[in-house]
Each structure stands twice: as C-alpha cells, then as structure tokens.
Amino acid sequence: MLMPMLWKNDLDEIMDPFDMWDHATDRFFGNDLMEFDTMKTDVIEEDNDYKLEADLPGFDKKDIGIDLKGGVLTISANHKENKDEKNSKGKYVRKERREMSYHRSFTVGDNMKPEDINAAYENGVLTIILPKKELEQKNDDVMKIEVK
C-alpha cells in the first residue's frame, strides 16, 4: 500500500501533504468554500401540519413562485435590481446591478393538493403550511400556489 510522504512544518510537527493543501486553500480562500448562498429554510413539525419557513429578504411577493408537481413542492424566487444615479449632465455617477435567484424543491407526497397548502410572505420570510393528512387525488400537472 502506498502512503503519502510526510513533511515537517515550521513547528516540527509531521503534516500530511493533503492537510497542508487544505490549510493553504483555507488561508487563501477562507474556509467557507463549500457553503453556497442558498435559500435558508426551516421545516417545523406541528401537531396537524408541517410549517416551512424560507428566508427571502429583499424579494417582493410578485418575485416568488411556488409550484406543485408529482409530489414535489418547488419554491423559486427571482429579483433584479438596477440603481442608476446620474449627475446633472445625465452622466452616470454610479450604476449598480444586482440579481438574485433561488430555487429549492421539497418532496411532499404524491397526493398533495394545492388548495390544502397555505403560503404567506411577510417581512422577508415565506411561510408555507402543509397538512399532515393523507389526500385522495394524485395529479402530475404543474399547479401554482398563491402567495398571500
């Protein structure tokens, strides 16, 4: 069996070269390389339902879409922002653009109906209430759920 060679570092400790690589990349890039900017979501089990809370700060209600298809609930949010500041001559002093887009899917069961799901958006938090009860009908068509 082949083993990687070991080197000594400045503190006379033996280090694996793979650990050395990890330490070097952490120092250069930071140690959060594997964390992606995603929609932070909590799923809370309550007595009769599940509550899904998704953080979507900076979005308007019209930017958020919720779809249900084949037992999968999909949340999508898209927002474009353009701030143009011009001086008195009409030339740009500053022009900033920002675009945010999130997309998450959750398996909720084949028999879920959109009329049994409640969704509300307030103060940057999307709250979706999903019932625990078994529902009768299976539907593979994409069905929109209104955000209140």
Residue scoring higher pLDDT (131 or 148): 131
Say whether both 117 and 134 belong to one domain. Answer: yes
- From the CB of residue 13, how many other CB atoms can be counted at a distance below 10 Å? 9
Q: Are residues 105 and 55 in the same domain?
A: yes
| Domain carrying residue 16 | 1-33
pLDDT tens-place string over residues 57-94: 888 899 999 999 988 899 999 988 777 777 777 777 66
pLDDT digits (tens, 9 = 90+) for 102-127: 889 988 888 888 898 999 999 999 99
> How far is C-alpha 23 from the chain's CA centre?
28
Residue 22 and residue 45 share a domain: no
Check pLDDT > 50 for residue 130. yes
Together in a domain, 85 and 125: yes
CATH number of the domain where residue 134 is located: 2.60.40.790
Q: Tell me: do 7 and 51 sit in the same domain.
A: no
The model's confidence at residue 11, banded by pLDDT at 50, 70 and 90, is low
- Distances 6 to 2, 44, 125 between C-alpha atoms, Å: 12, 47, 50
Same domain, 28 and 46: no
Same domain, 49 and 122: yes
In a shared domain, residues 134 and 67: yes
pLDDT > 90? residue 3 = no
Same domain as 69, residue 123: yes
State the pTM of this model: 0.61
Looking at the structure, tell me whether residues 96 and 119 fall in a common domain: yes
Tell me the average pLDDT across 13-37. Answer: 60
Do 86 and 138 belong together in one domain? yes
Q: Looking at the 3D structure of the chain, how many domains does it have?
A: 2
Q: Which of 27-31, 38-42, 121-125 has the lowest mean pLDDT?
A: 27-31
**Chain mean pLDDT for the chain:** 77
| 131-137: long-range pairs with CB below 8 Å, 24+ | 131/48, 131/49, 132/48, 132/49, 132/50, 133/48, 135/109, 135/111, 136/111, 137/111, 137/113
118 and 76, same domain (yes or no): yes
